[in-house]
Every structure is written in C-alpha cells, then in structure tokens.
Structure 1
Amino acid sequence: MAKTEMTKTRVEFHERERNVPSKEFNIASQLKRFGKDDGKNSPSSDLKWGKGASSFSDNDLEKQLQAWRENPSWTDPHSEIKVSVPKGSLCNLKVNVNVGLPPDAVYNIVTDPDNKKVFKNIKEVISRKVLVDEGHRQVVEVEQAALWKFLWWSGTIAVHVLVDQNREERSMKFEQVKTGFMKKFEGCWRVEPLFVDEKTCFPFKPKTWTEYYSCTGGKGRLGSKVSLDQLIQPAIIPPPPISWYLRGITTKTTEMLINDLLAEAARIRGDLGSEKPNKESESSQDILTEVDNVLDIKRRWAMHRRNAKLCHRRLLTAS
C-alpha cells in the first residue's frame, strides 16, 4: 500500500512539473549579464594571469608541475563547506579548499569538456555549444546528465546551464538556462594562487609568480586556493525533515566533488599517496549506500549525522 502511495505521489509530482510553464531565459540577456563584472571578486592586479610579467605560459606551467614532481609531499586539507539557507531557497553552499596543484592545472580540470572521467556524478555530456570565444574567455551552453539518488529512488537529471569561463581571472560562472525542477541553480568556481613554499623567501614576501620563482630558485611550488559558491533553489521546496535530508545529501555530493578534484590533483603531481583520497571517496560512497538502504527517513537522517560526526572525529585523530 505504501509503495502504491509513493508511486502515485511521484506521478503527481512529474505531472505538476510538466504543467509548469517552461520559462526559457533570454540567452542574449544572460550573455550580457555575464559580460559585466564589478571587479570585487577578481584577483588583485599583480596576480592576474595573461597580462604583464606574471603571465603564465605553457612553459611556466611545466616548470610549476616539475616543482611538484620533485617534491610531491602534500597533505590534502579538509574542505571547508559552509551551508546557509537564504529565504526561499534550499541552500547556499560556500566551499573553500587548498589544492596541491598550480592554478592553471586546476582550472584545466574544472573546465575540461571531458571531465566526467574525474567527477563521478557526471554520467554524460548530452550537448556542448560554444556561444562566445574570445581566446581567454568562452561562454558555453552545456547540458549534462547528472546522477542522483534520493530515498529509494535513483536515476539521472538533466542539468542545462550557461557557463562563462574566464581563464585570465580563473573563474567559471554557471547559471541554468531554463526553469523546471530547479528554479535556480547558479554559482561560481574561482582559482587563485597559493605560494606553498613562501617561507623560504623570508624576510622577502613575493607578490608575483616571477618574484616567487626567483626567490625560491625555481623550487617553490605553486598551489591553488579553490572556492565554489553555489545557490540551489528548487521550484518546490519540501518541508522538514525532507529539506534537511536533501540539504545533507547536497552537501555530501559537493564534498565528494571536491574529493574527486583532490584525487585527480594527486594523480597529476605523481604523489605516491594518491590512493588515499580514492579510499576516502570509496568510504564516503559506502556510507551513502548504507544510508540509502534504510527506508525510514528519521533513522536515515540520524545515521547521516552520526556518520558525519564519525568522519570528522577520524580526521581530527589523523591530524
């Protein structure tokens, strides 16, 4: 009987979604809005790539990667994920993490059209169309099939977004093209430089890649400060405890996304300990599978919180 009711609810939901007017956004207006940048969140002028003495050429990137190959020692930090709930939304996620790889290399991973090999939640890229190509900047319309899992349902959902990739500022803004199941799905990736071996330059404090390379004798490693700001607002926001559970799953999915990025960074720099992030990712997946096997939502949410505390305790013990 319960199964019949859930099936009925699912059918009614899809009927409701199909009857919602499919509001197509004006692509031209979105492109115009993407083109505006107040500069508040841009890297400082002396650290911008692509201009002046701090420009990163392919040769510079190879030098930066070589420094990591010679000294791959790096401990991936626990990603900082802050979750807020703006009025009328499911959640706003702000993620910050340091990655042991140069900014160009990290940016290449995030913007790679074939990065489904890295990020496991991307099932396939349905379509990809370049709308604007200015060399250092591209605006791309992308439709992907993303894997999802909720309660005893699982499957794929189409994510149709407009992506503004600015290589000079190492930023990638995204915004959905049309409303449907999601009323709002937007955000921005940013990658900034991190002078990992800056202490070797003391008392001199380098401000550019050229200065850093010079004062470390070419041995200084360049890492990345990666941030992700993402707003998620469904067309229909479910009441608690469903909304709490969805928020927890969204946070866990984002954490696994970051873990995938860290694992790929470890593989590229040739870190002999690169298997560790993979094991942690598999462990997280095992926990999610265990949680999804429990049908009672209260028990599942309690288990989710308990597992989160255990993972946090393990991290504290390991450090």
Structure 2
Amino acid sequence: MDDIRKRFSKFWGKTNTLMMVKPTPPFDFLMQIPEKFQNCLKHLEQSQKHQNIQDSETSMFLKNHGFDSVMDASLEKQLQAWKENPTWVDHPPEIKVSVPKGSLCNLNVKFEVGLPPDAVYNIVTDPENKRVFKNIKEVISRRVMVNEGQRQVVEVEQAALWRFLWWSGVMLVHVFVDQNRKDHTVKFKQGKAGFMKRFEGAWKIDSNFVDKDHSFPFEPKTITDYELCSNGKGRIGSVVHLQQLVEPALLPPPPISWYLRGITTRTVEMLITDLRSEAARIRGVEHVDFVAEFHKSHLDCVDSTKSYPGEKLKERWHERRKMRRHKRKRLPPL
C-alpha cells in the first residue's frame, strides 16, 4: 500500500511539473486561436460599420446629384475629364475583308473612339440610336426577352436603307441582340430569314488609357490604378472591335458581288463616322465635317480576294451605256 502511494505521489508530482512547463509553439498557437478569432470579429465589425457609412455617403451623393448608380457617377467623372480636355485625333480604322466560302464577305474592323467604353456601349445599345446612325430609317419593333441587369437579350426589327447603283430602297432586318455591359460586348444574329441568309457579328469595346504617359514609370493595368496614377485626371477612351458576316440568300456572281462587297464596307465606314461624330458631340467639340475628313483619309483595307472597286465598276457601266447609245445613233436609217 505504501508502495502504491509512493508511485502515485511521484506521478502526481510529474503531472504538476508538466502543467507548469511553458507550452511548446504548436500548443501556444492553439491557445491563441480564441483571442485571434475575437480580434478578427472586431475587425470585421469595424469594417462593416465603415462600409455602411461609405455606402450611406455614396447613396446620399448619388441622390443629390441625380445619379442612379455608382456606374453612372463613374461615367460622369470620366466624361468630365474629356470635357476639360477634348483634344482627340480620329485615326483611320483598320478594316480587313475576307470572303468565306458561300458568303459575300466577313469584315473585321478595329478603330478608336474618344469616349469611355460605357459611353460607347450606351450609343450602340440605345433603342433610339437611329438618331446617330443614318442608315437606320426606323425601328419597327423592340422586345426585351431576357433582362439580367447588366445583360439583356433583345429582339429587334428595323428598316435599313440600301443603295445599289441607280436604285435605292429599304430592307427589313430582324436580329436577336445579346448585350452585356459587364464585358462591353454586343452580339447580334439574324432571326427571320429574308434577303439575308446569314447576318451576324459582334461588338467588343475595350478600355484605352489615353493619358497613361503621364503615369510613367508606372504601367496601370486597371482603371482604378490608372485613376490613382493620374490623380483622377486621366482620360479613358475606347478601342472598338467589330466583326460582321454577311451572306445573302442568293449570292450574285461577279462583278455584282464585288460591288455589293464594296457597299457593305462603305456602310460600316459610315457607321464608324456616325459613331465618332456623336462622340465628338458628347465631348463638347464644335461641329466637324467628319464625312469630308473620312473620305480624305486612307483606310487600311486588306481584301483577301481580287475585288473590283465599286466606284470604278459604276463608271465602267456608265461608259458602256454611253457606247451603246452612241452606236445606236450611228446606225443608218432603214
């Protein structure tokens, strides 16, 4: 019995000694978890209170200035930078024309616009953009099929103007448009088949940091970084990519297909001109004859086929008609 008591006393003494020893680092970390968890909760509560105060101040600012969202306020700030410095030079667009088998043409266009991507997106997706684009005569119907906030799918039927040699008229175009403000894309595809068998394409609008040279030696990658580097004065422009495939229900033979390809290209050129003209108006620039300047510029146009220029073809047809009339006049009377 005494032997058992002695053994128990030794064991209890060792246990007390172990409890008095300072914990090793792993056990020390475990003992600090509750304290760190409490500090984390306090930090989250303080951050939430600060965020609530900022949201309240932002909401009050938007309400006082008539903005519907933070996005609208940000766009207005970017537009203000353009109004303070509206200097901008529109360079000729890059237009590449290819002819996939069975189609009339496939256009790939790249050009710059002196406006932020949100502003350009607003112009392209505006239900009343016939005010801007002269080739749209009338919007017959417009129905929103999907509305997910920043993304919408819209069914549109409109009357587009066309001109071929001495004739002109109106062509009905029925398309489904998938427009997404989050990535500034607008995809369109023909619905009802008519004069066109396939008519589809997409817009893609990217940011262009116009004044990024002022932020040297820093190279901003995001709009937030760009605004910090330029002290909020840096202008944001747009790089616009447009891809468009045109395939008529009945593909005409050359030289008519060459001429129609030229008409399609010039229609896109005029669309770009109208868009840039509207951008200049928004920037507050005085009226500029963009059409005259556009025809003076030389387009970087690459055609994968040996297409015949439409204007020369038209002149050639005029000469042939004159020759026929001249021959008729020279025929001797019967």
Which stretch of the first structure deviates more once superposed, 102-111 or 171-180?
171-180
Q: Which consecutive unaligned segments of at least 5 residues does structure 2 have? A: 1-68, 298-309, 321-334
The amino acid across from 2:74 in the alignment is D
Contact (CA 8 Å) 1:151, 1:295: kept in 2 or not?
no
Deviations 1:238-283 (A, max 9, x none): 11111111101110111000000000001100123x4131544698
Aligned partner of 1:107 in structure 2 is 121
> What does residue range 266-281 of structure 1 map to in structure 2 within 5 Å?
266-272=280-286, 274-280=287-293
* Contact 1:103/1:223 (<8 A) preserved: yes
| Contact 2:259–2:313, Cα closer than 8 Å, also in 1 | no
The yes-or-no answer on 1:203 pairing with 2:203 is: no
Dislocated runs of 4+, deviation >3 Å: 278-284, 290-300
Gaps of 5+ in 1: 1-54, 285-289, 301-319
Q: How does 1:10-29 map to 2 (within 5 A)?
A: none
Report whether the alignment pairs 1:159 with 2:173: yes
Cα gap change, 1:116 to 1:183, in 2 (>3 Å): same
- Looking at structure 2, the residues matched to 218 and 165 of structure 1 have their Cα atoms a distance apart, in angstroms, of 29
2:85 matches 1:71 = yes
Distance 2:93 2:219 in 1: 26
Q: Does structure 1 retain, via aligned residues, the 8 Å contact 2:95–2:107?
A: yes
2:146/2:154 contact within 8 Å kept: yes
Query: 2:204: which partner in 1?
Result: 190
**Change in 2 beyond 3 A, CA 1:299/1:267:** farther
Is the radius of gyration larger for structure 1 or structure 2? 2
Identify the match of residue 132 of structure 1 among 126, 131, 146. Answer: 146
Q: Is the 8 A contact 1:152 1:292 kept in 2?
A: no
Distance 2:190 2:134 in 1: 21
* Deviation by residue 1:77-114 (Cα, 9 ceiling, x = unmatched): 10111100011100000110010000000000000000
| Residues 153 and 283 of structure 1: CA distance in aligned 2, closer, same or farther (over 3 Å) | farther
Whole-angstrom CA distance in 2 between matches of 1:168 and 1:194? 16
**1:215 deviation in Å?**
0.6
The residue type equivalent to 1:263 in the other structure is S
Q: TM-score, normalised by structure 1?
A: 0.71
3-state secondary structure, aligned to 1:57 = helix
- Overall identity of the aligned pairs, in %: 65
Q: Provide the C-alpha distance between the structure 1 equivalents of 2:252 and 2:262, rounded to a whole number of angstroms.
A: 14
**Paired residues, number:** 240
SS in 2 for 1:206: coil
Q: Is the 8 A contact 1:150 1:292 kept in 2?
A: no
1:59 match: secondary structure: helix
- Residues in 1 aligned to 2:112 and 2:154: alpha-carbon distance in whole angstroms: 27
Structure-1 residue corresponding to 2:157? 143
Measured on the aligned residues, the alpha-carbon RMSD in Å equals 2.3
Give deviations 1:127-185, integer Å, cap 9, x for gaps.
00000000100000000000000122211000000000111010000001022211100
* TM value normalised by structure 2: 0.68
- For the residue of structure 1 that corresponds to 2:289, the secondary structure is helix
Letter of the structure 2 residue corresponding to residue 155 of structure 1: G
Find the aligned partners of 1:231 and 1:85 in 2 and give their Cα distance: 9
Change (3 A) 1:149 1:245: same
1:176 paired residue among 162, 171, 190: 190
Describe the superposition over 1:192-248 as per-residue Cα deviations: whole angstroms up to 9, x where unpaired.
100000111111111111110111011100000001000000111111111111101
User: Which of 230, 233, 240 matches 1:219?
Assistant: 233
| Equivalent-residue separation in structure 2 for 1:258 and 1:106 (angstroms) | 11
Aligned residue identity for 2:228: S
Letter in 2 for 1:215: C
Summarize deviations over 1:51-93 as a string: whole Å, max 9, x none.
xxxx971111111001101110000110111100011100000
SS in 2 for 1:275: coil
Q: CA deviation at 1:299?
A: 6.0
Aligned to 1:248: 262
